[in-house]
Amino acid sequence: MNALNDEELKLFVDSVRNYFKVTTGQDPKITSAYLATEAVEGYEFNGIVSFSGSYSGQVMVSMPAQLLREVLVLQGETDLSDTHLLDAVGEIANTLAGNARKNFGPTLGISVPIKLMGATGVTARVRQRPYAITLRWGPLPALVCVDVARNA
């Protein structure tokens, strides 16, 4: 397997930025983007989308409840239950992964999102060092972890 290059990894940064800009009208601040050395610690709501086909691995979006509540409220949503927050973080992960096909092409297979509740860390599956993007949307933090490699 071949690691993604900097340009390919940056696509996910752009995708995260675009997601918040379009859905909330407010740009997030990307606070860091780095190659993590250990399991990356997330927040309590996690959406994970797996890649297959020409790429392997996964993209994880991890957010605290308050951020998801505010994003939903801005969209006019009144159901702020945990079930709805989990659905929202899964849909965000699905959107970021799906947007990658614009550059990675249609041979990139994308799973439906897995949604997990609980601040568990994510351990790299295909990269020795997963690419972690941390951001703040207003005062609220979030994490996107890209653990993806191109199949040789």
The yes or no reply on residue 7 touching other proteins (CB under 8 A) is: no
**Residue 22 burial (10 A CB sphere; 0-12, 13-18, 19+):** exposed
* Contacting residues for 106 by C-beta, under 8 A, at least 6 apart: none
Nearer to other proteins, 98 or 121 (CB): 98
Q: Which is nearer to other proteins, 73 or 119 (CB)?
A: 73
Q: Which of 10, 69, 84, 129 binds other proteins (CB under 8 A)?
A: 84
By three-state DSSP, how is residue 121 classified? coil
Give the interface size with other proteins as a residue count (CB under 8 A): 28
Question: What is the nearest approach in angstroms of other proteins to the Cβ of residue 32?
Answer: 23
The single residue among 28, 42, 57, 90 that binds other proteins, judged by CB under 8 A, is 90
- Whose CA is closest to 52, among 103, 123, 101? 101
Q: What angle do CA 112, 136, 12 make, to 5 degrees?
A: 45
Among residues 27, 34, 98, 121, which is the contact residue for other proteins, using CB under 8 A?
A: 98
**Which residue has tokens 């249609």?**
106
Residues that bind other proteins (CB under 8 A): 18-19, 22-23, 72, 75-77, 79, 83-84, 87-88, 90-91, 94-99, 101-102, 104-106, 110, 112
